Amino acid sequence: MSTRSLRTFWWTLVLFVPLLAVFSGNYAYQAAMRYGDDPSFASCPAVIAYPQEGPCVAALQQLLNADPPYAGIYHDGIFGPQTLAATRQFQSRHGLPGYGQAGAATINVLRQLAPAPRPVPVAAALLTTTLTSMVVLGMTTARRRRERQLSAQPPEASAMVRAAI
């Protein structure tokens, strides 16, 4: 491989790796924000209502946001006025009794309408690969610089430096 093609390869890599890091980081952020964790109501009370707080309410809020027209509520885990209004709207649209409490019937309908969670580990793998590539690139560049410095020195000086390494 010629010096020019090797230099072109390294410059391409130097430009590509940060772009890949930005893209994969953005993808991971969007996937976590839009889809979050897979909502589960296994350990939740039978009825989720105002003014409860916790992960069960956050899962309810996430599922309410998944149903068009999207509720647009923040997944903060606090069953406040916005969550109450979104629950009542959801219940009226789907023919459920509109008490504003998420009982078993409401949660079952929400589970059926919920989108499948996106695989966030893909984004994590992309980010890990990118960061590993950046480290390998940096180590390889440092090694090549060291070799160039050794080859530029007189033979007796490079022998002493090699012995020290």
What does pTM read for this prediction?
A: 0.49
Q: Give the integer Cα–Cα distance in Å for 51 and 83.
A: 10
Cβ neighbours, 10 Å, residue 15? 10
- Give, for all 165 residues of the chain, the pLDDT tens digit: 577 777 777 777 777 777 777 777 777 666 655 545 556 677 778 888 888 888 888 888 888 887 777 677 877 888 999 999 999 988 888 888 878 888 888 888 887 876 665 555 666 677 777 777 777 887 888 888 888 887 777 666 556 555 666
pLDDT of 164 reads 60
pLDDT of 37 reads 53
Q: Which residues pair with 102 in a beta bridge?
A: 48
Q: Give the integer Cα–Cα distance in Å for 138 and 145.
A: 11
pLDDT of 47 reads 86
What 116-120 contacts at long range (C-beta under 8 Å, 24+ apart), as own/partner pairs, is 117/35, 117/36, 117/37, 117/38, 118/31, 118/34, 118/35, 119/31, 120/28, 120/31, 120/32, 120/35
